[in-house]
Amino acid sequence: MNGIQSATTVPTDVDSYNVTLALADLLLFHQEISSMWLCNVRPRVRDHDIYNNWCCIARTVGIILIPPELKTALIHQLHAQGAATMVAHSQPTILVQGRPSVSAGALVDALEAIDCAAVRMQIYGTKLPVANILNRRFSSLSLDVDSSNNTWDLGFNLDCASIPLFKPVHNGNKKIRSFQVYGPAGRSFGTVQMTLEFEGQEYSVKIYQRWLHAFKALSEKQWYADPLSNKTSQDRLKSLENRVNKLKQLPHHLLTGARLEVSVQAPSLQAAVERISNTPLLTLDEWLLPTHRDIQQGSFQLQRHDITVEEVFAQFDKKLELAKNLPGLRRRHANKPKSEVKQMLVDLASFLGWNPGWRKPTAADKTRAWFIVRRAPLPRLSENSMTVCLTYMEDPARLKRLFKTVQPYLRCPNCEDDTARFNPNWTDAQDRIRCNNCRHDILVGQWAELFGIVVNEFKLQLPNEFAP
């Protein structure tokens, strides 16, 4: 990615926005006869704090909210207008149970009847060109509502042939949140979110990989909680495998590059565009080599690390094979998944660029993790040891039978834990034994030497079938 040398960068698209609208303006976004699903859940959308307790009433191109005290009156009015039977939701911020629908015109009529002067509309994930929205939707909005709390997320795409990752240069800045992705290949880099005051105005800035757009586009919804059963864990693992196979079929340019978004509070889209265009906040070079005082003194400088699409796929394929062999996945479907399985699913999602946010992915520099497999060093013989040698044994089936004899005496040379034991971990692809404590593996090519050391150390008598 070539650095953008200009002092300012103009936003090219609108990712999301939260606006207060007069009732008549709702029909600029919806045809009068179009259907609206009444809300039975409240989606998580970032908006001004004063709207956190507002009631979510309908959802189409966006989410429509009203003051909570109007909830009951709206349901009664919709019934009076002949709407289907609906039951109020127990949560004050959600309108109904079930999934009833009404037309946009009927909803506007009901809101007018209960003296609702304005609504809050939240629209997210659009990424529509700024010019399109200005010309088609916001050129004729009513000026009779309070627009001071309107917020806008404006973005700019950064093109390159790799996947750029970022993290703060200075640790300890509480106004920067860093989310590491792509596991060891990412080297603790990932996406960043920052909140800062720039020339007296508060802004939120987010820099992330465009790969994430492709990842989310291949699934209807993401996970926002740990699995509750082992069956769900297996389904999620299969889902990730299917998704990476689809990602491999996408054009390369959809998986590379980054996106920079700035959020600002402004009464109109035009005002937001002008305000951001007069700053360098959408200029990547300003974050890597700051020149403005507010960014320098606030310790907002970032550093960058690039990886390739091929590296991401190679790492995921390798870790996926290890994940499939976790003992916890072979338990009964109804059993609750072990913590290791939950962590594995979060890590695999992180290897594909998505940090779920509720459970931290394993740190890239961690030396012990479910996905770390090392060739453990062999223990040394003591001076009084005999010199029985079993290197003539090369048949894996024969070595597996011998393993049952020496298993109680094996100790892990890596973790040196007296309570650790080796368990069989062989598959059609590879034979190995694994420490149940640190999970380090010893491959079949080392078994004969290791078993010989154990036989010598403990002076074990072997059955005749293991004679040369």
| pLDDT at 141 (0 to 100) | 60
Q: Mean pLDDT across the stretch 297-309?
A: 94
| pLDDT at 434 (0 to 100) | 86
Q: Mean pLDDT across the stretch 173-193?
A: 93
Q: Mean pLDDT across the stretch 60-85?
A: 90
The closest of 153, 175, 151, 117 to 49, measured between CA atoms, is 151
Residue 320 — φ and ψ, nearest 5°? -65, -40
Range name among 54-68, 78-92, 236-250, 442-456 with the lowest pLDDT average? 442-456
pLDDT tens for 192-232 read 999 999 999 999 999 999 999 999 888 766 777 888 898 99
pLDDT band at 26 (very low <50, low <70, confident <90, very high): confident
Q: Mean pLDDT across the stretch 33-55?
A: 89
In the structure encoding, which two tokens stand for residue 447, read together? 């078994």
| pLDDT at 220 (0 to 100) | 61
pTM listed for this prediction: 0.74
Q: What are the domain boundaries of the chain?
A: 19-123, 157-351, 396-466
Q: Mean pLDDT across the stretch 363-392?
A: 59
| pLDDT at 2 (0 to 100) | 43
| pLDDT at 384 (0 to 100) | 45
Give the integer Cα–Cα distance in Å for 92 and 67.
10
Give the strand pairing for 302-307 and 422-424. unpaired
Residue 465 CB burial class (10 angstroms; 0-12, 13-18, ≥19): exposed
pLDDT band at 467 (very low <50, low <70, confident <90, very high): low
Single-letter amino acid code for the residue at 135: N
Model confidence at 368: pLDDT above 80: no
| pLDDT at 6 (0 to 100) | 40
Question: Which residue carries 């003194």 as its tokens?
Answer: 297
Model confidence at 465: pLDDT above 90: no
Is the CB of residue 72 less than 8 Å from the CB of residue 88?
Answer: yes
In the three-class reduction of DSSP (H, G, I as helix; E, B as strand; rest coil), residue 258 is classed as strand
Residue 2 CB burial class (10 angstroms; 0-12, 13-18, ≥19): exposed
